[in-house]
């Protein structure tokens, strides 16, 4: 499959339906969710836009993984807690080449998933990352098509992990093997790849050039190795693959994503975005906001979500990093005009028939 360089990489709006259904089931309001990502509210409607940028799909997936507290976004019956990818990336910092990075990724995700689903094989001319998902504990409500699409998106995610480790991974992919039986249906997302794609494979496989995989690399700073950086890399790469480049995503949305993942210091966030603190402030100001305001909004949203999930006030206070629950009580009342207990009581009253 040869991607068309004149077309943006998109997926059908219907690809959002399983994610939005899970969000609704979890009690997440779809309108505010889409608004927080600067996405049109009409995406939640059958009569909405037919297509969505692949980058926007990943941004929505990223946000829901945060809200669900599950990095598989309920794909697996064995959830990956938020921060799992950050943990994995901490383990690659001492690797000397991409081959070693791939092996660490495979071992680490196998440990987290509780099975030998990932492997790395060095061949005569290539190094292959292999995903054997035949016995993977998928949630049994998902269709075969949804699983094909989801694991194809995982391959893109893995490639972008390698890209943040070393730019040499960009042109190193020699071929892509996927289990999808044929290229029929909505396969526009596969336009991400420049390499040949083999359908009806027994296992998923990314085949990398051997010489590039063994070449010494200069590892980036530890703070640059985060799941936030991976999602941002996906957005950047997808945008770069589009000749008709659209306006960049809002800094506000990027900051909200990072705050949701626990990056609470402005200097750390600026470093991850590869800008100065002054530039970050200026960009947020141009969009009518500030880091302090966004941090308060995100903390409040997370506090409300945790309280409604029946966490104790003390547990929510600890989860949000407050020194004591009384400080959290004061902050919550300042944000919402009522205490956490009063908020819970009011929410329960609204649920009564």
The pLDDT tens digits for 7-57 are 578 899 999 999 999 999 888 889 888 888 888 888 888 777 888 899 889
Q: Report the alpha-carbon distance of residue 50 to residue 59 in Å, rounded.
A: 18
Instruction: Check whether 129 has a pLDDT greater than 90.
Output: yes
| Residue 225 or residue 273, greater confidence | 225
Look at the chain and report how many structural domains it folds into. 2
Asked whether residue 237 is assigned to any structural domain, the reply reads: no
Instruction: Check whether 242 has a pLDDT greater than 90.
Output: no
Q: How many helices (H) and strands (E) are present in the chain, helices listed first? A: 15, 7
| Residue 246 or residue 84, greater confidence | 84
Confidence of residue 5 (pLDDT cuts 50, 70, 90): very low
Instruction: Check whether 3 has a pLDDT greater than 90.
Output: no
Q: What strands lie across the sheet with 173-177, from one edge to the other? A: 118-122, 126-131, 204-209, 173-177, 197-198
Instruction: Check whether 104 has a pLDDT greater than 80.
Output: yes
296 plus 192 within the same structural domain = no
Q: Which domain holds residue 64?
A: 10-214
193 plus 55 within the same structural domain = yes
CB 53 within 8 A of CB 9: yes
Mean pLDDT of 103-132: 96
Confidence of residue 244 (pLDDT cuts 50, 70, 90): very low
Position 302 scores a pLDDT of: 82
196 plus 344 within the same structural domain = no
Position 241 scores a pLDDT of: 62
173 plus 300 within the same structural domain = no
Position 1 scores a pLDDT of: 43
Tell me which of 171, 195, 214 is where a domain ends.
214
297 plus 205 within the same structural domain = no
Mean pLDDT of 325-338: 89
**H or E element in which residue 303 lies:** helix 291-308
Q: Report the predicted TM-score, pTM, of the whole model to 2 decimal places.
A: 0.76
174 plus 299 within the same structural domain = no
Tell me the two tokens of residue 152: 């194809």
Q: Report the alpha-carbon distance of residue 220 to residue 233 in Å, rounded.
A: 14
Confidence of residue 103 (pLDDT cuts 50, 70, 90): very high
Asked whether residue 324 is assigned to any structural domain, the reply reads: yes
Mean pLDDT of 216-229: 87
CATH number reported for the structural domain that contains residue 338 in this entry: 1.10.10.60
Instruction: Check whether 314 has a pLDDT greater than 90.
Output: no
Position 123 scores a pLDDT of: 95
Highest mean pLDDT of the ranges 70-74, 210-214, 327-331, 342-346: 210-214
312 plus 202 within the same structural domain = no
Asked whether residue 63 is assigned to any structural domain, the reply reads: yes
41 plus 158 within the same structural domain = yes
188 plus 93 within the same structural domain = yes
Angle made by CA atoms 292, 294, 299, in degrees to the nearest 5:
95
Instruction: Check whether 346 has a pLDDT greater than 90.
Output: no
Per-residue pLDDT tens digits for 170-222 = 999 999 999 999 887 888 899 899 899 999 999 999 999 999 999 999 998 88
Tell me which of 191, 214, 237 is where a domain ends.
214
């Amino acid at each position: 499959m040869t991607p068309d360089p004149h077309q943006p990489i998109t997926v059908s709006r219907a690809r959002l339906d399983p994610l939005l259904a899970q969000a609704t089931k979890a009690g997440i309001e779809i309108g505010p969710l889409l608004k927080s990502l600067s996405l049109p509210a009409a995406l939640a409607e059958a009569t909405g836009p037919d297509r969505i940028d692949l980058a926007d799909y990943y941004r929505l997936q990223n946000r829901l993984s945060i809200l669900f507290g599950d990095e598989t976004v309920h794909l697996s019956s064995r959830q990956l807690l938020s921060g799992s990818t950050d943990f994995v990336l901490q383990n690659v910092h001492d690797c000397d080449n991409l081959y070693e990075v791939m092996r660490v990724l495979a071992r680490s995700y196998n440990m987290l998933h509780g099975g030998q689903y990932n492997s790395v094989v060095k061949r005569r001319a290539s190094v292959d990352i292999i995903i054997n998902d035949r016995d993977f504990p998928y949630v049994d409500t998902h269709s075969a098509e949804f699983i094909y699409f989801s694991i194809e998106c995982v391959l893109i995610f893995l490639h972008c992990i390698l890209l943040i480790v070393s730019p040499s991974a960009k042109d190193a992919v020699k071929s892509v093997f996927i289990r999808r039986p044929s290229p029929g249906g909505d396969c526009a997302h596969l336009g991400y790849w420049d390499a040949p794609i083999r359908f009806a494979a027994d296992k998923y496989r990314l085949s990398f050039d051997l010489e590039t995989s063994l070449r010494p690399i200069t590892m980036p700073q530890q703070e640059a190795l985060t799941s936030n950086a991976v999602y941002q890399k996906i957005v950047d790469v997808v945008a770069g693959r589009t000749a008709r480049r659209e306006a960049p995503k809002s800094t506000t949305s990027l900051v909200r994503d990072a705050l949701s993942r626990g990056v609470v210091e402005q200097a750390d966030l600026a470093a991850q975005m590869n800008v100065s603190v002054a530039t970050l402030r200026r960009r947020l100001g141009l969009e009518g906001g500030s880091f302090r305001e966004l941090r308060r909004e995100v903390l409040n949203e997370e506090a409300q979500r945790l309280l409604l999930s029946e966490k104790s006030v003390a547990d929510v206070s600890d989860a949000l990093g407050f020194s004591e629950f009384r400080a959290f009580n004061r902050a919550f009342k300042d944000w919402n005009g009522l205490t956490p207990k009063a908020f819970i009581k009011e929410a329960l009253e609204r649920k009564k028939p």
